[in-house]
């Protein structure tokens, strides 16, 4: 998936799926440069060493990058880096979409970009998945983000919200994520995991050290119960995180369209959604029809 859309008079966005698998070296370096430019305005240079900042091309083979550009000068001003984590569910391979890292140029905050950075990619992937629910995960210590995830997605655990219930599926997903995918969110092997509360203890030791905050520094949610939940469950001195697991479902997609997307952007979103869906449905047929070219394991030869 490689989708571009104009989201307002001032901004446009690009969603790139698994760029490490198909982008040429020069294009990939430009994309990485755009990410680093945004990060340099948010954190000191070199402070993050995990995920898309690790310099490892393989990380971008399992990432979906959403990047927002200012239309006047084509400068990147915000991005979201999501990760696709391979796990096993009911004996079958499955991918969990990790919400990942969000960064916004401080000069561009409060410009109504949250619907792009926190929901757009999940919505497009939901369409690509033929409206089937997608499991998502999130690791954070920020009350505002804990509340946003709980409100935006379905079947989310943990949290103080109504309906927060730890199911066997939640536990199985959490175990695999903590066993195999700590590098995705910068948590070292020495960090603990409280399976009852879904709290990662001593979490900031695996490359994400400079993201650690005190409770006072962390952005608060407008609903006080989420702030109290984080204050009670997390040890900010030690550096704890909460691991949230939920789903992008038809209900959460409907809520996203009704409450998050500006009315003026619905048409552009419809076009982007159609493009993402067509890329999934039409391109494989086009590629298969060309018998002169190799196509992965389905046609490992050329004529």
Confidence at residue 1, expressed as pLDDT on a 0 to 100 scale = 78
Q: pLDDT tens across 217-253, in order?
A: 999 999 999 999 999 999 999 999 999 999 999 888 8
Rg, the chain, Cα only = 19
Alpha carbons 5 and 117: distance in angstroms, whole number: 13
In the beta sheet, which residues pair with residue 230?
A: none
Strands 134-140 and 241-248: antiparallel
Confidence at residue 2, expressed as pLDDT on a 0 to 100 scale = 82
Q: Which of 125, 161, 156 is nearest to 247 (CA)?
A: 156
Question: pTM of the prediction?
Answer: 0.79
Q: Is 260 helix (H, G, I), strand (E, B) or coil?
A: helix
**Regions of the chain where pLDDT drops below 50:** 303
Confidence at residue 163, expressed as pLDDT on a 0 to 100 scale = 86
Strands 63-70 and 92-104: unpaired
- Asked whether the CA dihedral 162, 258, 79, 275 is positive or negative, the reply is positive
- Which tokens is 147 given? 């509340």
State the chain's maximal CA–CA distance in angstroms.
65
- Which tokens is 59 given? 């990380």
Confidence at residue 267, expressed as pLDDT on a 0 to 100 scale = 59
Q: Which of 46, 35, 40 is nearest to 78 (CA)?
A: 35
């Amino acid at each position: 998936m490689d989708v571009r859309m104009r989201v307002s008079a001032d901004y446009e966005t690009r969603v790139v799926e698994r760029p490490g698998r198909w982008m040429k070296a020069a294009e990939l370096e430009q994309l990485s440069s755009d990410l680093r430019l945004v990060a340099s305005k948010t954190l000191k240079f070199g402070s993050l060493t995990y995920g898309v900042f690790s310099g490892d091309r393989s990380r971008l083979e399992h990432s979906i990058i959403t990047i927002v550009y200012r239309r006047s000068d084509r400068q990147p001003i915000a991005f979201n880096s999501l990760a696709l984590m391979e796990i096993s569910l009911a004996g079958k391979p499955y991918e969990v979409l990790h919400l990942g890292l969000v960064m916004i140029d401080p000069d561009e905050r409060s410009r109504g970009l949250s619907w792009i950075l926190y929901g757009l990619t999940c919505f497009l992937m939901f369409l690509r998945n033929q409206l089937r629910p997608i499991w998502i995960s999130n690791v954070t210590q920020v009350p505002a983000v804990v509340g946003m995830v709980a409100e935006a997605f379905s079947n989310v655990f943990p949290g103080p919200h109504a309906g927060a219930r730890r199911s066997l599926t939640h536990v199985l997903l959490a175990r695999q994520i903590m066993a195999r995918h700590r590098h995705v969110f910068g948590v070292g092997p020495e960090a603990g995991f409280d399976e009852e509360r879904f709290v990662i203890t001593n979490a900031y030791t695996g490359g994400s050290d400079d993201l650690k905050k005190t409770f006072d520094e962390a952005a608060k949610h407008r609903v006080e119960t989420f702030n109290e939940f984080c204050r009670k469950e997390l040890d900010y001195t030690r550096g704890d995180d909460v691991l949230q697991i939920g789903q992008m479902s038809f209900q959460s997609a409907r809520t996203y369209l009704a409450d998050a997307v500006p009315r003026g952007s619905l048409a552009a979103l419809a076009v982007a959604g159609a493009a993402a869906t067509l890329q999934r449905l039409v391109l494989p047929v086009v590629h298969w029809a060309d018998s002169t070219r190799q196509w992965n394991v389905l046609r490992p030869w050329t004529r």
